Amino acid sequence: MSGQTPVGLHRALDALWRAPKGLAALSAVNHSVVGRRFILTAFIYFAIGGLLAMLIRAQLARPDNPFLGAEAYNQIFTMHGTVMMFLFAIPLIEGVALYLLPKIMGARDLAYPRLSAFGYWCYLFGGTIILVAMLAGVAPDGGWFMYTPLASATYTPGINADVWLLGVTFVEISAVCAAVEIVVTVLKVRTAGMALTRLPLMAWYLLVTAAMMLIAFPPLILGSVLLEIERAFNWPFFDPERGGAPLLWQHLFWLFGHPEVYIIFLPAAGAVSTLIPVFARTKIVGYAWIVAAIIALAFLSFGLWVHHMFTTGIPHLALAFFSAASMLVAVPTAVQIFAWIATLMRGRPQMSLPMLYLMGFFSVFILGGLTGVMLALVPFNWQAHDTHFVVAHLHYVLIGGFVFPMLAAAYYWLPLMTGRLPVFAVSRTAFWLIFLGFHGTFLIMHFTGLMGMPRRVFTYGASDGWDTMNLISSVGGFVMTAGFALFVIDLVLQTRFGRRFRRNPWGGTGLDWAMPTPAPSYNFAALPRVDDRDPLTVNARLGAEIASGKGYLAGAPRGQMETLCVDMVTGEPDHVLVLPQNDYTPFWMALSLAIFFVAFLLSVYWIAPLGLVLATVFGWRWLWSLGAKADPEPIEAAKGEWLPVHYAASSVPTLLGLKYFLAANAAFFGSLAFGFLFLWTTAPDWPPPDFLAANPVSLTGAVIGLAGLAGFAWAARRANARRLKRARVLHLAGSLVSTLIAGAGLAAIAVLDAPAPQTHAYAAVTMAILGYVLLHLILGLLFCAYALARIGAGYVSALRSADMRGTAIWQTYTAVTGLGGLALLVLAPWGMG
């Protein structure tokens, strides 16, 4: 326990953790600052998406309406879907997770604060590219799903589709970064005693969501990269006249798209699971069942993507399988709903403002789930596909399952940011306008869809009989928009004029309400030990004890930013994570990538590599700031309890993050292999006229090099652990030379032996696989050079071994994917006959 007063602890910690002002704010990496930036930016994009929706409803309010032409309407409805799905929903989840996770798990910050900041700048710059294109009149116009062949250069010759492909890919980099951040933070950066069985349900939801993002987003990134390469360099991945298949895009898109529905839903369900026990004044019913349902839902969500492709000519056996899977996914969802209902029945619910939005969620989401079961039935799906019935179902699920819970969460956690309570009269009026306007808009769409109105049409005839219903939907849309506008006004009123309070206005039982409000920059003056899922129920004075310095890492006696890392399962303290100070590097690195994406978008290809070189330089600088030049002494985290510093610990968070990045990378490579096999088995004009005929010398050199680079890297790691300083350098040099040999062999195959990638989809995918492996070999060279430089600068020892271990992990991944890619290319012609 610290000898300082609570005020003294606060001043010492705030001096270290508070965000800078003015232009220096660009360097801020504190999780509260970055989380708020994500949330605010996402809501700005939400407002833009809402305005676009009102333009759509104004156009469809009357038959033969001249308000918008076909070209403008296509851009607007494409931008509406793109903004809502990629610039609002996912980033809002990221922002909420980044802001809340340390607070609900008793930590001071996330595992990688600079990675979160980098992700935000990627999100902001990527979204800006898309919005600037809209203002310039060249917004994407092929639908938020960007189906081929409509999105190919033949039918969309301008840069409209390129804006979507490059802008969304830039934003998805942010999503992958956030996913790694969330997974590692939940698993490692918690307070003492918080075992997995004591993890707040919100943390479980966010953990599973982030794990899904690591697997679901790479197929979309791959599809976007392949389509952009096809448009820019005429490689025919999706061109059926040269062995490609438009359906490959649909498979890659919906491998992302359907899990994304649950990626959006699960964090909102986490908010429901958090809020209901608080306002029912009881513990959640079925904690273990809910956790099992979350995990089951995540697994099942990856087996449903063909649900969106029932009318594309899928074999009947596959239709039956995916139809059954689409209905089966309702089971884990129902488990959660019944647990929530049971909690309400066991407790004494208080109909406060957040609870009002949760009641709206129940009524809307359950209706959306029922129409989802209807669409899972193949005969009905064939009739309702591409009608307004599907539009209505989508909005009932996404607005009911995401927006209503997130509005409840906003009212619940906003006092944590502002220290003020809402102005209730305005809040309730906003709710009823949103609720009634929503049903007025989308309930009617079910009937217009059943009457045959197709989606994605900019007008219709007066004789179709849809005019009255469309007018009602449009009026309902404007009423709902008025409700959202009032919601924004209410937030402003709460921030400026809301009633102040000391702490915990709702009677919450988690660690997020054990801190002062508004939450300080460092969250906790000391990190508590918890022995229950609801620590404030066990000890109502926990907040005061934390403020007085009772717990781990009280104050800032060493003048550095510290938090605990724990054992993944038991939650027992493992080591002390020393966090970085504010840093401009994430901003400059994201800006370097923006140069690459904008140059590619404008077809100034000679500038694009400059962006990558700059990003590499800033990435090197980022990593170089890690670690120390001497083995650190253990830190007394609590009285009599000494813990190592993270860069001298056995489970370094940096390496864990690398492994999860490689998991996403493996999903990318697996999607590429899937595309190769899909084209081979289903696309027209296969087998191709020319196969890869690899020179035996080049192939042998590539195989030997790939095997050697991993072997030498692991030998260097073992030599470092045994303090064999000369041997570790020689083995690293061997890994570097092996990487060069493998790269030379693969480059020779690509240049001299592979057929021209413009001739056939087989040649294009072959070159894509070779390019993937070559890119990883280039990065492997950088890993080896970096490790050698760190050894020379004194950053590596037997104890400080993260650089050696990271290099071995990367080189092993490169060897496995490289040998697997070569085996696929060499053996596929033989295996496929």
Supply φ then ψ for residue 387, to 5 degrees. -115, 175
Q: Average pLDDT for residues 305-319, to the nearest whole number? A: 88
pLDDT in tens, 402-417: 999 999 999 999 999 9
Average pLDDT over the chain, rounded to whole? 94
Enumerate the H helices of 234-352 as residue ranges: 246-280, 287-301, 316-328, 330-346
Long-range contact set of residues 356-360: C-beta below 8 Å, sequence gap at least 24 = 356/408, 356/428, 356/431, 357/404, 357/405, 357/407, 357/408, 357/411, 357/431, 358/272, 358/275, 358/276, 358/279, 358/404, 358/405, 358/408, 360/400, 360/404, 360/431, 360/434, 360/435
At 360 the pLDDT is 95
At 687 the pLDDT is 83
pLDDT confidence band for 99 (50 / 70 / 90): very high
Question: Percent of the chain having pLDDT more than 90?
Answer: 88
At 500 the pLDDT is 84
Interhelix angle 70-82/113-135, rounded to 10 degrees, is 170
The residues that bridge with 566 in the sheet, in sequence order, are: 573
At 424 the pLDDT is 66
Chain CA centroid to CA 310, Å: 27
Quick check: helix, strand or coil at residue 687?
Answer: coil
CB neighbour list of residue 103: distance below 8 Å, 6 or more residues apart: 416, 511, 512, 515, 519, 523
Quick check: helix, strand or coil at residue 573?
Answer: strand
pLDDT confidence band for 605 (50 / 70 / 90): very high
At 109 the pLDDT is 96
Q: Average pLDDT for residues 10-29, to the nearest whole number? A: 93
DSSP per-residue string spanning 119-141: HHHHHHHHHHHHHHHHHTT----
At 496 the pLDDT is 85
The reply to whether the predicted model has a pTM over 0.85 is: yes
Shortest CA distance to 206 belongs to which of 342, 86, 298?
298
At 652 the pLDDT is 87
41-72 burial, b at 16+ Cβ within 10 Å, e below that, comes to bbbebbbbbbebbbbbbebbbbbebeebeeeb
What are 343's two structure tokens? 């909690």
Give the range among 157-171, 266-280, 503-517, 741-755 with minimum mean pLDDT.
Answer: 503-517
Task: Tell me how crowded residue 379 is: count the other CB atoms within 10 A of its CB.
Answer: 9
pLDDT in tens, 718-760: 999 999 999 999 999 999 999 999 999 999 999 999 999 999 9
Cβ atoms of residues 31 and 588 within 8 Å: no
| Whether pLDDT at 2 is above 70 | no
Chain CA centroid to CA 235, Å: 29
229-249 burial, b at 16+ Cβ within 10 Å, e below that, comes to bbbeeebbbbbbebbbbbbbb
CB neighbour list of residue 435: distance below 8 Å, 6 or more residues apart: 360, 364, 483
CB neighbour list of residue 278: distance below 8 Å, 6 or more residues apart: 412, 506, 507, 508, 509
H or E stretch including 823? helix 802-831
Between CA 387 and CA 699 the distance in angstroms is 52
pLDDT confidence band for 833 (50 / 70 / 90): low
